[in-house]
């Protein structure tokens, strides 16, 4: 019986996935289990960082972006920015065709840019990423001039983002579900989307004509894989089981609890990459007590032993954050390292000084008979990476070490938004996956900015961020962003950085060429992926 089971163990995983898994053979197809279901497959509607890997299978952007923040050619082979920062001239590749056979040219790029001006197409992108956009003019078959209303350092980042994924103008007109995308929304990418089953899988086949990979790709010409299937497996334990039993060859989203298991298995490989954008941080609401007092904000940070908390929750797989901006970003300010956290004595001294000297029956600090209570509001659909457990660990620490009553409320999106609108919170957690951390800072720090939920106001910071947006000199931008980070993290203590979000890929040893998108740190498209040794 035992031998029978052993034999079954060896044979059946192979049988289960049929021809796809024959190791060593010229297996040119792959099954990859992913965690997140796409809300949309239209790159210009893209909102989930975790589906970048799908977007860039089917679509190419105009530029590509390297890990150091520099820009490189993709569908645009060259570009020039005028001295006043308001005119961009793009020279396009002349050998590119869409999957539907239509030619990629300057008129197509203009059609894509103009699409964002259609009311109701993508209000958020029109108002944020394209706020400075004025007009695009075709000045030659493969040459285009874009005029901005004002200089915008983030415009190049837009050209390198999924939003600049080029869609065939014909399909922009004819697609059945334009905003959702799907097989009839056509791109120029290395793979052609040919099947999508909501809740189950998405299937691509190779684009045999592909010859225009972004700078930095590991090879030229068509993709190695003839086809690739992404299965949606939302449950982490099921993804890992599917991988170890050979039913899928690659998974992303490996929970901390399974990392050791995968590292121990000699047949499997594990890669991780920090995400770009902002670190997962707590932001303090400085609008009302108790966090209107800088000493209380600092005391909260000092009360938490962040290393111990991260170790307990993520079993040593999380990277501690020291600033709003994550370590992956070229704008990260390393001088903030070691500047806060893990000092209970300091926390208590600060709270004493701030007047929270009383204690109630449950051991919480009080002032004028009021308990030192702070509330976190979180929206359930955006709670990931066990952030609820992280909150509980922080809750235990601030209670034990400083007598702070930290209440964690996880609500549905409508209720959470209402609490945020009403200011019924003292603390909220947030991370952003922007490939340019400056974009996130613009949304978080300036007075009255879209997600300035700290109500932090500092005219200097507003000036620095505006200046950084107006220049495309990367060194100058870094100087300005460093100043802004120091003001928010060290001088004003309005933010409590916790950890830098990361992505993981686990795969069978026979799968080569897996990697991460240098701009975002999330898994890259399947263009360079191959099987066999």
Partner 1 sequence: MIKRLATGLGVLWAAATAAYLALLLAPGDTVDILVGDGPDTPEIRARIVAEWGLDRPEIVQYLSYLWRLLHGDLGRSYQLQRGVGEILAGQAGPTAQLTLAAAGAGILLAGIVAVGTAGRGRWWRGAASAAELVSVSVPPFLIGIVLLTVFSFTLGWFPVSGAEGVRALVLPALALGLPLAGVLGQVLRGGLERALEQPFAVTARARGLTERALVVRHALRHALIPAVTMAGWFIGTLLGGAVITEVLFGRPGLGQVATQAVSGRDLPVVMAVVLLSAVVYVAVSTLLDLAYRLIDPRIRG
Residues 91-120 that bind partner 1 (CB under 8 A): 119-120
Phi, psi for residue 392 in degrees, rounded to 5: -65, -40
Considering only 128, 217, 408, 467, the residue that binds partner 1 (CB under 8 A) is 128
Closest distance of CB 248 from partner 1, Å: 8
Closest distance of CB 49 from partner 1, Å: 11
Taking CA atoms, 107 is separated from 121, 140, 143, 144, 218, in Å, by 19, 9, 9, 8, 30
* Residue 45 in the binding site for partner 1 (CB under 8 A): yes
Considering only 97, 115, 200, 512, the residue that binds partner 1 (CB under 8 A) is 200
Closest distance of CB 44 from partner 1, Å: 12
* Residue 353 in the binding site for partner 1 (CB under 8 A): no
Q: Name the residue nearer to partner 1 (CB basis): 372 or 468.
A: 468
Residues in the chain: 533
Closest distance of CB 196 from partner 1, Å: 10
* Residue 287 in the binding site for partner 1 (CB under 8 A): no
How many other CB atoms are found less than 10 A from the CB of residue 95?
12
Taking CA atoms, 252 is separated from 58, 255, 314, in Å, by 19, 9, 17
In angstroms, the CA 516 to CA 13 distance is 28
**Looking at 131-239, which runs of residues are DSSP E strands?**
133-140, 143-148, 191-197, 201-206, 227-232
* Residue 466 in the binding site for partner 1 (CB under 8 A): no
* Residue 7 in the binding site for partner 1 (CB under 8 A): no
Considering only 39, 78, 260, 345, the residue that binds partner 1 (CB under 8 A) is 39
Q: Name the residue nearer to partner 1 (CB basis): 207 or 276.
A: 276
* Residue 207 in the binding site for partner 1 (CB under 8 A): no
Q: Name the residue nearer to partner 1 (CB basis): 341 or 501.
A: 501
For helices 344-353 and 294-303, angle between their N-to-C axes, nearest 10 degrees = 160
In angstroms, the CA 126 to CA 508 distance is 42
Which among 88-96, 330-338, 387-395, 411-419 is the span making contact with partner 1, rule CB under 8 A? 411-419
* Residue 515 in the binding site for partner 1 (CB under 8 A): no
Decide: 160 and 64 in contact? Cβ < 8 Å.
yes
* Residue 221 in the binding site for partner 1 (CB under 8 A): no
Closest distance of CB 20 from partner 1, Å: 12
Decide: 378 and 409 in contact? Cβ < 8 Å.
yes
* Residue 355 in the binding site for partner 1 (CB under 8 A): no
* Residue 490 in the binding site for partner 1 (CB under 8 A): no
Considering only 123, 308, 353, 447, the residue that binds partner 1 (CB under 8 A) is 123
Q: Name the residue nearer to partner 1 (CB basis): 43 or 518.
A: 43
Q: Is 299 helix (H, G, I), strand (E, B) or coil?
A: helix
* Residue 247 in the binding site for partner 1 (CB under 8 A): yes
Is omega for the bond preceding 290 within 30 degrees of 0, making it cis?
Answer: yes
In angstroms, the CA 442 to CA 437 distance is 9
* Residue 235 in the binding site for partner 1 (CB under 8 A): yes
Which among 20-28, 38-46, 274-282, 362-370 is the span making contact with partner 1, rule CB under 8 A? 38-46
Q: Is 374 helix (H, G, I), strand (E, B) or coil?
A: strand
| Ordered alpha helix ranges (H), 233-315 | 236-244, 256-264, 294-303, 306-314
Sites of contact with partner 1 (CB under 8 A): 5, 8-9, 11-13, 15-17, 33, 37, 39-40, 45, 47, 119-120, 123-124, 126-128, 177, 179-180, 197-201, 231-235, 237-238, 241-242, 244-245, 247-248, 379-382, 412-419, 421, 443, 450-451
């Amino acid at each position: 019986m035992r031998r029978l089971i052993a034999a079954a163990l060896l044979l059946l995983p192979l049988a289960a996935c049929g021809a796809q898994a024959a190791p060593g053979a010229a297996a040119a197809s792959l099954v990859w289990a992913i965690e997140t279901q796409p809300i949309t497959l239209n790159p210009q509607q893209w909102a989930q960082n975790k589906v970048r890997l799908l977007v860039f299978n089917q679509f190419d952007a105009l530029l590509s972006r390297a890990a150091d923040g520099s820009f490189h050619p993709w569908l645009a082979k060259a570009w020039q920015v005028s001295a006043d920062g308001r005119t961009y001239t793009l020279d396009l590749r002349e050998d590119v065709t869409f999957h539907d056979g239509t030619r990629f040219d300057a008129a197509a790029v203009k059609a894509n840019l103009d699409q964002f001006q259609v009311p109701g197409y993508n209000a958020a992108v029109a108002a944020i990423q394209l706020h400075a956009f004025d007009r695009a003019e075709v000045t030659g078959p493969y040459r285009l001039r874009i005029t901005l209303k004002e200089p915008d350092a983030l415009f190049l980042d837009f050209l390198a983002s999924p939003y600049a994924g080029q869609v065939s103008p014909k399909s922009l007109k004819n697609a059945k579900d334009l905003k959702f995308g799907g097989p009839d929304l056509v791109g120029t990418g290395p793979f052609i989307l040919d099947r999508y089953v909501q809740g189950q899988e998405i299937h691509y086949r190779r684009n045999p004509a592909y010859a225009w990979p972004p700078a930095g790709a590991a090879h030229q010409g068509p993709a190695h894989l003839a086809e690739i299937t992404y299965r949606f497996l939302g449950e982490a334990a099921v993804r890992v089981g599917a991988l170890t039993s050979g039913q899928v060859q690659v998974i992303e989203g490996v929970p901390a609890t399974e990392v050791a298991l995968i590292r121990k298995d000699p047949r499997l490989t594990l890669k991780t990459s920090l995400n770009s954008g902002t670190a997962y941080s707590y932001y303090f609401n400085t609008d009302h007590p108790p966090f209107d007092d800088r000493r209380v904000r600092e005391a909260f940070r000092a009360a938490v032993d962040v290393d111990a908390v991260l170790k307990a929750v993520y079993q040593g797989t999380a990277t501690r954050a020291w600033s709003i901006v994550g370590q992956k970003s070229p704008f990260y300010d390393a001088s903030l390292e070691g500047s806060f956290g893990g000092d209970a004595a300091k926390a208590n001294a600060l709270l004493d000084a701030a007047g929270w000297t009383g204690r109630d029956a449950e051991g919480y600090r009080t002032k004028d008979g009021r308990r030192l209570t702070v509330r976190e509001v979180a929206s359930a659909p955006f709670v990931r990476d066990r952030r609820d457990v992280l909150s509980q660990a922080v809750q235990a620490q601030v209670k034990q070490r400083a007598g702070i009553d930290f209440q964690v409320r996880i609500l549905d999106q409508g209720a959470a938004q209402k609490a945020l609108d009403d200011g019924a919170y003292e603390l909220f957690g947030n991370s952003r996956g922007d490939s340019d951390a400056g974009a996130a800072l613009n949304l978080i720090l300036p007075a009255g900015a879209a997600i300035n939920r700290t109500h932090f106001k500092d005219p200097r910071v507003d000036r620095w961020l505006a200046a950084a947006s107006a220049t495309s000199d990367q060194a100058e931008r870094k100087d300005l962003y460093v100043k802004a980070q120091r003001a928010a993290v060290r001088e004003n203590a309005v933010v409590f950085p916790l950890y830098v979000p990361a992505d993981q890929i686990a795969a069978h040893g026979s799968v080569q060429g897996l990697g991460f998108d240098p701009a975002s740190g999330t898994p890259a498209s399947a263009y360079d992926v191959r099987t066999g040794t």
